[in-house]
Structure 1
Amino acid sequence: MKFLRSRGAKALALVTLVGAVGACGLPRSGPNKAEIYKGSVLKDGDAFIVSVNSRVTRATAVTPAFGFSDSFRNAGKVGSDSISPGDVLGITVFENVKDDPLLGNTGQRVSALTEIQVDGQGYIFVPYAGKIKAAGQSPDGLRQIITKKLDTQTPDPQVQVQRLAGDGSTVTVSGFAGAQGVFPIERPTRTLTAMLAKAGGVSIEPETAIIRVTRGGTTGQVWAMDLYANPALDIALRPGDIITVERDTRAFTALGATGNQSRVPFETENLSAIEAIAIVGGLNTSTADPTGVFVFRNEPAEIANTVLGRNDLIGDQRMIYVLDLTQPTGMFEARDFLVRDGDTVYVTEAPFVQWSKTLSAITGTSGAADSLASATSGN
């Protein structure tokens, strides 16, 4: 009778603990495939679940559109030494007269006009020559203008123009460049790549570097790799340009049965699903289900309509793209499907994993029941 009570107590303890395990639920990395599919619009959910194929891959292959507008590309190279507002000039005039020079005193053939500052509108004033537009001129070009204006008033004047202060035509380089600062536009540095080289190049991985140029109220940007690969993007610089080297801020989130779960920055201009999985250590060989690789995304209506063959969707749509790596073309589809900024890449656990966890929980619970029964019988 005592033996029966012992067996009954043990069974009762086992049932009680297994029930508790079932009620609390087993630990896992996220929803399983069945739970994800329950969120489909076909089952009154709010997400469209789409299996990835070559048509879907083409429709969703959208990358950031970078480039320079015509105003940037069509601008010609500036002179290597242009005068700018704020520059301080020195002008010397040699007159070919002795008794009655135009600018100097009697017997003074050389007249020096020092510290003439170019005003905010780019003009200077020279006695007897008047107000002259200096900004944008080279020192030699300004010399010719002054000479022409004085030539009608004094015979054969010889004029010399030099910059006493100011950088002339300059650009600003900032961000992840080798050196930051204000750099003059000189003959060897009149284009974007040449100026970047002067500033020490980019200090981050070229694959993730973006080159932004701001000119007045207009901005253009290109990938660093595209800039060096395509000579047409090597635009001519203009005074006042701001060149900024930025790091690509795009990222995706990896969750589930992967080697690492985290927010991951893009390492290249384009990133495929198979590359995204590889970056986080691939699929977890102990738990991952290769038939359950999902990409969660808020898709613009234009692309969602194309993918779904519709034309009535408005606004961003919740889309879940499904990749089955066990299919004959599954690896190719994952290689061609592009991950985008803000995507969540999620890998479900294989079904047997939950069974293993259940059996482990039951085994552990059974052991706990035996210990409890032994303690009870001892009392």
Structure 2
Amino acid sequence: MAFWVYVSALLWPDCHLDHNFSCGVTLTNFCLLKTLDEVLCRTRKSRRFAAIGGGLLLLAGCNSLPESGPTERQINQAAHDPKRSTLDYRIIQVNPDLIDILASQVPPLFSSLDAGHSLHNPPRNDTIGPGDILQVSIYEVGSALFSPNGMSMSAGANTSMASNLPPLNVDGNGNIEVPFGGQLYVSGMTTNQLAEAITLRLKWKSQSPQVLVRIVSDITNSVIVYGGVREPNRIPLTPNREHILDVIALAGGEDRTVQSDEDYIVRLTRDEKVAELPLKTIENDPAQNIVMQPGDRVQLIYQPRSFSVFGASERVTQEQFTTPDLTMAEAISRSGGPIDSRADPNAIYLFRFESADVLKRLGVPVDKGATVGPVIYQLDMMNPSNYFLAQRFMMRDHDIIYIANASSNKFYKFFGLISTLVSPGITAAWMVK
């Protein structure tokens, strides 16, 4: 009852009120407006209703205002709340030790795949294997066993007769069938070794046979080059020992009409092992331009690297790297940086799935068998020294930068909303006066 009396006195101080309350706390005689003061009394009521309504909204409505993302406090709370954090991640402050750990991380290099082949034991590219097609030419003196017309030479003649056998296919077991020579196992032989083997088989059937063997279709000594090249193809290898950039060039090279070679990834598959490197890295590091081996598969992938920016920045955006390397400082500046009126420069976050090796070195637990894990790196831009660290922190593909909202942002949003709602009433009151 006292509450209603207080509210009545607050809203209608100049009105004559007669309050009669029953046991049900009923206000019976309401304000009797005087003819002369009616307009002023209603104006005062409107102002006080607006004041009380604004107070109630201030107490209960701030949390319902829209936001672009969480504050620093909310991110820290979510990291320790198992109900809100479905992924077990940690928040790591950007510091010099972290920069050194990240800089020491080395991706799988092509040179590691070539470790078992030294210069003293280079792979051969002239052996025969299943699937190859061979051309065998036999030169005979005197009686021509392979002459199509059964021609024979006179005794003592030095004239030789050349006969080309039909193309011989090496079957899946590595065998070929030579007329008058029978079946020969040729897998692993060189062309010279096979020529000697055929000559030995024909020695007692043909007069002074001489044999030449040439690989017409070389399946065994070849690599497959495909993906973002102009001419995807099977590239035969030669004893010259082609390197990875050689076979890419023989396949027409990368399609530069799409993008620069910073956005191309070379994926090499060898003996069920896979390694990836940027094409630019192979071009700049001769040690990664390794010698090709028969059976290698080289895929050129056009993969434009990008990062995303959310939160209290000039714009929410997804940007491509467009350069070989990109630092965190450069990435933040591309999005316009933190907004003074909204952002909390103490809380600049970078979300990333980091390798398990780095997470272990940072003391972050990793699930058994996992190769990567989630982590959040925090940068405090109120500390001037961290601007130097941001210049050394290298961005990676699919990184997410989040600029947290300031805690006071809700109040300013609410104040702006109230101003928008109250301004028409204040304007109307001044017009009445």
Could you tell me the TM-score, scaled by structure 1's length? 0.78
Query: Larger Cα Rg: Structure 1 or Structure 2?
Result: 2
Q: 1:218 aligns with which of 273, 277, 292?
A: 273
Match of 1:169? 221
1:23 matches 2:61 = yes
Task: Give distance in 1, aligned partners of 2:170 and 2:294.
Answer: 15
Task: Give distance in 1, aligned partners of 2:163 and 2:77.
Answer: 91
Q: 1:9 aligns with which of 38, 46, 49?
A: 46
| TM-aligned CA deviation for residue 4 of structure 1 | 2.9
Q: Provide Cα deviations, 1:73-120, integer angstroms capped at 9, x if missing partner.
A: 5443544x655533433323222223xx55554627554421322212
| TM-aligned CA deviation for residue 13 of structure 1 | 2.9
Q: 5+ residue gaps in structure 2? A: 1-36, 154-160
| Pair 1:94–1:181, CA change in 2 (3 A) | closer
The alignment's C-alpha RMSD in Å is: 3.9
Match of 1:92? 137
Q: How does 1:205-244 map to 2 (within 5 A)?
A: 205-244=260-299
| Pair 1:91–1:136, CA change in 2 (3 A) | same
8 Å CA contact 1:147–1:158 kept in 2: the answer is yes
| TM-aligned CA deviation for residue 222 of structure 1 | 2.5
Q: 1:116 aligns with which of 161, 168, 175?
A: 168
Q: Provide Cα deviations, 1:18-43, integer angstroms capped at 9, x if missing partner.
A: 64476164333212223333345499
Task: Give distance in 2, aligned partners of 1:49 and 1:260.
Answer: 24
1:321 matches 2:360 = no
| Pair 1:178–1:115, CA change in 2 (3 A) | closer
| Pair 1:15–1:220, CA change in 2 (3 A) | same
| TM-aligned CA deviation for residue 374 of structure 1 | 8.7
Q: Provide Cα deviations, 1:285-327, integer angstroms capped at 9, x if missing partner.
A: 554332221224566776556435x8xx453876543211231
Q: Provide Cα deviations, 1:106-151, integer angstroms capped at 9, x if missing partner.
A: 6275544213222123321223444334455554553344234434
Match of 1:193? 245
Match of 1:307? 362
Task: Give distance in 2, aligned partners of 1:225 and 1:41.
Answer: 42
Task: Give distance in 2, aligned partners of 1:292 and 1:43.
Answer: 22
SS in 2 for 1:183: strand
| TM-aligned CA deviation for residue 155 of structure 1 | 4.1
| Pair 1:45–1:160, CA change in 2 (3 A) | closer
Match of 1:369? 425
Amino acid at match of 1:29: S
Percent identity, aligned pairs only, is 26
Task: Give distance in 2, aligned partners of 1:18 and 1:181.
Answer: 74
8 Å CA contact 1:73–1:232 kept in 2: the answer is no
Match of 2:194? 142
Amino acid at match of 1:55: D
| Pair 1:292–1:177, CA change in 2 (3 A) | same
Task: Give distance in 1, aligned partners of 2:387 and 2:356.
Answer: 28
Q: 5+ residue gaps in structure 1? A: none
Task: Give distance in 2, aligned partners of 1:319 and 1:106.
Answer: 83
Q: Provide Cα deviations, 1:187-228, integer angstroms capped at 9, x if missing partner.
A: 677221111112222234322322112235333333212211
8 Å CA contact 2:264–2:304 kept in 1: the answer is no
Question: How many residue pairs are counted as aligned between the two chains?
Answer: 371
Task: Give distance in 1, aligned partners of 2:352 and 2:163.
Answer: 74
Match of 1:295? 350
1:55 matches 2:92 = no
Could you tell me the TM-score, scaled by structure 2's length? 0.70
